Amino acid sequence: MFASEQAIVMYTLRQLIIPCSLAGLIGYQSLTVLPIILGALVDYRGFTLANVGYVGSVEILGMALAVAVTTGLINRVRRNRLAFGAAIALGLTQISSAFTLDPSLFFAERFLAGLSAGCMAGVLASTIALAREPERLTAFIYLIDALLASAFYLGLPLVIARFELAGAYALLGAVTILISPAFLMLPTHGPVAANSSAGFRKDALRVIAFAIILSAATAALWTFTERMALHVGLTVRQVGQVFAGGLLVGIMGASLAAWVGDRFGSARPIMLAWTMVLVLALAMCPICPHLPPLFSASACCGFS
C-alpha cells in the first residue's frame, strides 16, 4: 500500500522549507505566546498565578502526549492530512477559547489545543528526518520561526490592549486556519512503518512522565518572567518587545553554541547556557524580592 509514495523518503530543502517552517510556527505557537497569554489571563480573566500555571501545564501535557503518540504512528497515516486536520482543530480551539468563560470548559479547550499542537510538532519532527540535509533544514526552520514569532510578540500586546484576550485568541485561530492549507504540501508518507517495540513504548512513557514533571516548572518560569517585567515598570507592549528581542538574540546564541560545540564539545555550550540562566535568575532577587525563590527554582528545572 502506497508503495510508490513510500519509496521516496528523502526530500530537498526547497520541498520542505515552507511547510516545515509554518508547521513549526503553528505547532509551537502555544509555547511561543504562552507568557503573553498567561499574563493576559491574570489581567483580563481574573486567573491567579497558580491557575495560569495549571493552564500552561495542561496545554504542555497535551502536547507531550500527542507528540509521543504521533511520532510512533506517523508512518501509518497520511502525515500531510494529519497536519492539516490538527491545524484546523487548533485554530477552531483558539477561536473557541476567545469566548469561553467557564473555567472547566476552558481547561478542556486548552488541553485539546495542546493535543492539536502536539500532532503538528510530531509531524514536523518526523518530517525533518526525511530531509536530505536535516541539520540545514532545522537551522532554517529555527531562523524563520524566530523571525515570525517575533511578529507575534510585537503584535499580540497591541491586540490585547485593544480587544483584550478574546482578540488575541481570535487572531491566533484565524492565522492558524489561514495557514493550514500549506500543510498539504508536506510529504504524504515516510518509510514503511514498523511495529512499535516494548523499548519504544517504555521510552514514550518516560518522555511523557518527564514532560508532566517539567511542564509545571516551565509554565511557572514563563509566567513569572512576564509578571516580573510588569513589576519593574514595563508595559505589556514593552514585554512583547523584550521577548521579540530575546528571540533574535537567541539566533546569535544558537550560532555561538554551534561554534563552541564544534571546537570544545556539545556539553560546553549547554553548561554555559545553564550557568548563565541560573546566575541571571539569582540576580533578579534585589529587583523582585517576593518572586525569586520560585523563579530561580523554575529556571534551574526548566533549563537543566
Does 220 or 27 have the greater pLDDT score? 27
Alpha carbon distance, N-terminus to C-terminus of the chain: 44
Question: Do 207 and 64 meet the contact criterion of CB atoms below 8 Å apart?
Answer: yes
**Which of 34-43, 91-100, 238-247, 254-263 is predicted most confidently?**
91-100
Torsion sign, CA atoms 293, 295, 297, 300: negative
Q: What is the pLDDT of residues 246-259, one digit of tens each?
A: 767 766 766 666 66
Residue 202 has pLDDT above 80, yes or no: no
Q: At which residue does the C-alpha cell 547556557 appear?
A: 273
90 in Cβ contact with 174 (< 8 Å): no
Predicted confidence band at 70 (pLDDT cuts at 50, 70, 90)? confident
DSSP-assigned states of every residue in 132-144: SSHHHHHHHHHHH
239 versus 46: the higher-pLDDT residue is 46
Q: What pLDDT does 292 receive?
A: 47
Is residue 300 over pLDDT 60? no
pLDDT in tens, 170-199: 999 999 999 999 999 998 876 654 454 555
- pLDDT score for 183: 94
pLDDT higher than threshold 60 for residue 260: yes
pLDDT higher at 153 or 172: 172
Where do the domains of the chain lie? 10-303
Is residue 59 within 8 Å of 113, Cβ to Cβ?
yes
Averaged pLDDT of the chain? 76
Cα 137 to chain centroid distance, Å, stands at: 18
Q: Which residue has the higher pLDDT, 265 or 136?
A: 136
Report the pLDDT averaged over residues 4-26.
78
Q: Which three cell numbers stand for residue 28?
A: 509551537
| pLDDT classification of 88: cutoffs 50, 70, 90 | very high
Residues 48-56, mean pLDDT to the nearest whole number: 78
pLDDT over 70 (residue 40): yes
What is the tens place of the pLDDT at every residue in 120-142? Answer: 988 998 888 888 888 888 888 88
Nearest to 169 by CA among 83, 93, 89: 93
Predicted confidence at residue 34, as pLDDT, reads 81
Is the confidence at residue 144, as pLDDT, over 90?
no
Q: Per-residue pLDDT for 31 more than 60?
A: yes
Window from 28-37, 48-57, 260-269 with minimum mean pLDDT: 260-269
Quote the CATH superfamily of domain 10-303: MFS general substrate transporter like domains (1.20.1250.20)
Residue 145, pLDDT score = 84
Mean pLDDT computed over 61-90: 88
